[in-house]
Each structure stands twice: as C-alpha cells, then as structure tokens.
C-alpha cells in the first residue's frame, strides 16, 4: 500500500539559509500535518492543511510557512535557518481532517534537517 | 492542560522477555488512544488504537489496555525480539478538534 512520501530524507543547510521540505500524502488523503521532533523529544505539531486551506496552527515559527497544493502535496518552507531548527520533520496525512473515532494520521519517514 | 506522560523513559530487556510500558493521560475530551512504534530516524507506525469503550486490543505480540476511569493505558510486549528496539509513543486524540497529544515516549532496547 502507498504510504506518505517525504523528500528529501536528509538535508544539510547553513545558518540563515532556506530549506523546502516536501510531503506527498497517501492517495485520496486530503489532510496534511507537519510535525517537528527534536532529539529525544516528542513530535511538536506545526501546522495542518485540509483541502488546500490551513486547518490548524501549532508552534510554527514565523520564519516557516507552508502550503498545500491542488494535488494535495504540501511544502514546508523554512527561512533564516537557525541551529535550533535541526530536527526530524514529519509529515502525516489523513482523510477528511481525521474525523471519526478512528481518525488516524499516517506518518511519513521524516526529513532529517541539520543546520550547521 | 492536556498531557500524556509515559514511563519508564527508557528500558533495557533481554531478548525473549516480556515488558510493559505505561501511559497516563489528562486529555479531555477524549476520543481515542494509540500506541505507536517509532524506529530511530523513522516515522511513527501505529500499533493499536482504542476508543473509550475498549479496554484491550492486541496486535500480534503487542497487547494494549485502557482504563478510561483512571486514564491509564499500558502496552505489553510478549517474547521480545531484537527488532522491538524502538521508541514507543502513546498518543491521545481529543474529540471535536481531533488533535494528537503525544507522550514523551519510552525508548526500549532489546539485547541478545
């Protein structure tokens, strides 16, 4: 079965550079979520999109922006990168905002961002 | 404040042994509780899901329990294997907003 695809899997950037992470949800999933997971920490919710519109916002820094495109893939744009942005960035997808008692989010493998 | 706490923080066991991981939550309103397995550097993969009315759910060697009254859950791993070495994350979903509230995870290491 098709899963959530994230690219790139690894990314190394210098401070103050920009980075773009991409997420391709499971086919027919219309909701995408972005999470940031620092070393030894639980995932922190950044932002989510449903039908190409922002559906919820978490602890996403102002330096970051994201959008969902007509084919439902999403991109997380990160500017003025800081050392503290080094983390594993997960994308998850679900169907219909994950409504219902089994509102499951399916996670991608993550993109490991290292800022030097 | 919605919180999910897990214990122990880390655990080392020998291959073939059983272990039990704990999850306590203060999440309201409650929708469901999931246990995820996360291999190092990979995305979390769902093991079990339980709603309010379910108190036991099994998935192979993994058995999860839920006590909605005390707001506690456990994940029991039977006859552990080296491949069970991973972080196990308890995630509680709120009803209405469907937010995922993540626990801090238990890092399990299975030794040969």
pLDDT digits (tens, 9 = 90+) for B57-78: 999 999 999 999 999 999 999 9
Q: Is residue A100 pLDDT above 70, yes or no?
A: no
The DSSP code for B84 is G
Asked whether the predicted pLDDT for residue A101 surpasses 50, the reply is: no
Q: Is A65 in CB contact (< 8 Å) with chain B?
A: no
> Between chains, do A45 and B99 touch, taking CB under 8 Å as contact?
yes
What is the rounded CA–CA span in Å between residue A56 and residue A46?
9
User: pLDDT tens across A49-75, in order?
Assistant: 999 999 889 989 999 999 999 999 999
Which of A10, A105, A109 is the best mutation test for B, with the most CBs of B within 10 A? A105
Q: What is the pLDDT of residue B92?
A: 93
Kindly provide the b/e burial profile for residues B26-55, where b requires at least 16 CB atoms within 10 angstroms of the residue's own CB. ebeebbbbbbbbbeeebbbeebbbbbeeee
State residue A2's pLDDT score: 76
Residue with the larger pLDDT of the pair A9 and A98: A9
- Best CA proximity match to A8, nearest among A95, A96, A97, A91: A91
Residue spans of chain B under pLDDT 50:
none
Question: Which sign, positive or negative, has the C-alpha torsion B52, B106, A26, A2?
Answer: negative
Q: Is the pLDDT of residue A97 over 70?
A: no
The yes-or-no verdict on residue A99 having pLDDT over 80 is: no
Which pLDDT value is given to residue A28?
87
What is the arithmetic mean of pLDDT over A9-25? 97
Q: A87-105 burial, b if ≥16 CB within 10 A, otherwise e?
A: bbbbbbbbbebbeeeebbb
Share of chain A above pLDDT 70, in %: 93
Q: Which residue has the higher pLDDT, B15 or A100?
A: B15
Contacts with A110 from chain B: Cβ below 8 Å: 41-43
**pLDDT(A96) > 90:** no
For residue A41, the chain B residues in CB contact (below 8 A) are 104
- What is the helix (H) or strand (E) element at residue B30, kind and residue range? strand B30-38
- Written as six digits, the tokens of B20 are 């039990």
d(CA A59, CA A106): 20
- pLDDT value at position A1? 65
């Amino acid at each position: 079965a098709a899963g959530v695809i994230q690219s790139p899997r690894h990314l190394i950037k210098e401070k103050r550079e920009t980075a773009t992470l991409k997420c391709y949800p499971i086919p027919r999933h219309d909701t995408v979520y972005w999470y940031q997971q620092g070393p030894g920490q639980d995932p922190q919710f950044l932002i989510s999109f449903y039908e190409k519109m922002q559906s919820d916002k978490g602890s996403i820094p102002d330096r970051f922006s994201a959008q969902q495109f007509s084919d439902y893939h999403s991109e997380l744009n990160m500017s003025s990168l800081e050392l503290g942005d080094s983390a594993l960035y997960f994308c998850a997808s679900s169907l219909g905002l994950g409504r219902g008692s089994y509102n499951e989010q399916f996670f991608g493998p993550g993109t490991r961002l290292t800022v030097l | 404040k919605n919180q999910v706490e897990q214990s122990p923080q880390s655990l080392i066991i020998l291959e073939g042994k059983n272990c039990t991981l704990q999850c306590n939550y203060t999440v309201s309103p409650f929708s469901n509780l999931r246990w995820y397995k996360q291999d190092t550097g990979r995305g979390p993969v769902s093991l079990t899901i339980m709603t309010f009315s379910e108190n036991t759910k099994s998935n192979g060697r993994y058995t999860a329990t839920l006590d909605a009254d005390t707001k506690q859950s456990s994940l029991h791993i039977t006859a552990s294997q080296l491949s069970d070495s991973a972080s196990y994350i308890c995630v509680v979903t709120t009803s209405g907003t469907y937010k995922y509230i993540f626990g801090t995870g238990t890092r399990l290491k299975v030794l040969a």
